[in-house]
Amino acid sequence: MLGRVVRVLAVLLSLVVLSTTASAHTSGEIREKLTDTRDRLAEAERGLGAVKEQVGTAEQQLATADQQLLSLEAQLREQEAQLAAARAAYAEAQARTDAATRELQAVTDRLARTQQELSDRERRFDDRVASAYKYGNVGIASALVGAEDVSDFVNTMYYVRSVMKSDRGMIDDVTETARQVAADRAAADRLRDELTAEEVEAGRLKADVEAATEAKRQLAEMVANERAQRATLVQQLESTQADYEALVDGLEAESAKLTEELKRSEYVGRKPGKGGLLWPTAGQRTSGYGFRTHPIYGGRRMHTGIDISGGTGQPIVAAAKGKVVSAGWRGGYGLTVVIDHGGGLHTLYAHQSQLAVRDGDVVGQGQKVGEVGSTGNSTGPHLHFEVRVNGAPRDPMDWY
């Protein structure tokens, strides 16, 4: 779309350049040119409206992209905070895992020692049971019966009791050691399960957060790229809009100029201006009435008429009917015609290349009186046109 707009704009600009270099010599040409200019102005205004709409859309999309970026940045900050918390949790879990590993090793070592002690005690217990089974309780009874006196009997009884107590203690020790082995094994299994769960949970949490962070980063990068493209498009559209606005301004100025030129050109041989005078030749006013810097002598001087553009040989017509009171050379005016229209109103046509009337001729409004030239003090072909009332110069534009 932008490419087509630029191409249309280039064509319109080229037409403006061409139109400003051409000059209309008839009201028909001016009217045709004015219609063409107005058509191009309408096209430029439509193009400007379309570009403004595109600029609005692109700016809205850019604003949306900015909001998305802000939202994503907030999400990324939150995600990064979660990731930091997850890493801290992972570190704590790793510390717990390390502690559990050390504890598990300690339990495993203790379990090995306990199992060895159990084995030793079971072996000693087996030996004691085997001995008792082999000799029975006869040995104990014989020892008591064979005591020589009461004192010896008491001593023997104490010894027997000690042996029996030792047997019960050995049984208790073996039982307790077996219970401790079972407890250590259960603790070791529990620690292994907890260690595995800690590692799995920490790994899952870390992986989830990192995956989410990467996804958000990729989305943020995509939105940032889209925003950059939208920003570039907005700049291009704004530049195109500025070109269109300059084009519209130029076409509007040209349209106004052509409208004014058309009004003046239609006076030539067709209809008079508001003051009853025809425009004396098909051309545009190039210098107005009043003080100006003289084009030849310099300095500020009074310009007692207006200058109208035209090529050498272009017809000059009488602004109104009247009598030619002067037709010939008039110093700096060059070849000049002066017409008396009655009531103190006179018109003057200077710098002509050739005269078409003589002194005393009566002319009608729109009748040819001469041709555009550059005689007298002139910098190039043009018509110097004056209106005088009772001999005093007046601004000719008061009659148009």
Pairwise pLDDT comparison (394 vs 173), residue with the higher score: 394
Residue 386: pLDDT band (50, 70, 90) is very high
Tokens of residue 279, six digits = 């425009």
Residue 275 lies in a domain: no
Residue 219, in any domain of the structure = yes
Contact predicate 341/347, CB 8 Å: yes
The pLDDT score that the predictor gives to residue 165 is: 67
Question: Residue 336: which domain range?
Answer: 285-399
93 lies in a domain?
Answer: yes
| Mean pLDDT across 210-215 | 78
63 lies in the same domain as 201: yes
**What is each CA distance from 38 to 44, 49, 52, 96, 253, in whole angstroms?**
10, 16, 21, 85, 11
3-class secondary structure, 319:
coil
Same domain, 344 and 314: yes
Residue 263 pLDDT grade (very low, low, confident, very high; cuts 50, 70, 90): low
State whether 315 and 258 are in the same domain.
no
Same domain, 262 and 300: no
CATH number of the domain to which 257 belongs: 1.10.287.950
Q: Is residue 280 part of a domain?
A: no
Name the domain boundary from 266, 301, 324: 266
- CATH code for the domain in which residue 359 is found: 2.70.70.10
| 365 in the same domain as 303 | yes
Residues 354 and 247 in one domain: no
Domain boundary among 237, 266, 295: 266
Alpha-carbon span 40 to 157, nearest angstrom: 137
**66-85 pLDDT tens trace:** 888 788 778 878 877 877 88
Q: Residue-wise over 106-134: b if at least 16 C-beta within 10 A, else e?
A: ebeeebeebbeebeebeeeeeeeeeeeee
Top-confidence residue, 305 or 264: 305
Per-range mean pLDDT, top range of 1-10, 80-89, 124-133: 80-89
pLDDT level of residue 22 (50, 70, 90 thresholds) = very low
pTM of the model: 0.40
Does residue 277 form part of some domain? no
User: Does the pLDDT value for residue 27 go beyond 80?
Assistant: no
Residues 150 and 238 in one domain: yes
Mean pLDDT of 153-166: 64
| Count of domains observed in the chain | 2
Do 376 and 230 lie in one domain? The reply is no
Q: Please tell me whether residues 253 and 297 are part of one structural domain.
A: no
- Among 36-40, 169-173, 179-183, 358-362, the range of highest mean pLDDT: 358-362
Same domain membership, residue 233 and residue 85: yes
Are 226 and 293 part of one and the same domain?
no
Q: What is the pLDDT of residues 341-381, one digit of tens each?
A: 999 999 999 999 999 999 999 999 999 999 999 999 999 99
The pLDDT, as a whole number, for residue 3 is 57
Q: Tell me: pLDDT of 160 over 80.
A: no
Mean pLDDT estimate for the chain = 80
Could you say which of 266, 293, 319 is where a domain stops? 266
Q: What percent of the chain has pLDDT over 90?
A: 27
182-186, 303-307, 393-397 — which is least confidently predicted?
182-186
Same domain, 57 and 158: yes
- Look at residue 358 in the predicted model and tell me its pLDDT: 98
Mean pLDDT of 290-297: 74
Q: What is the pLDDT of residue 166?
A: 64
Cα–Cα separations (whole angstroms), residue 141 to 125, 157, 158: 22, 10, 13
| Confidence band of 296 (pLDDT split at 50, 70, 90) | low
What is the pLDDT at residue 193? 83
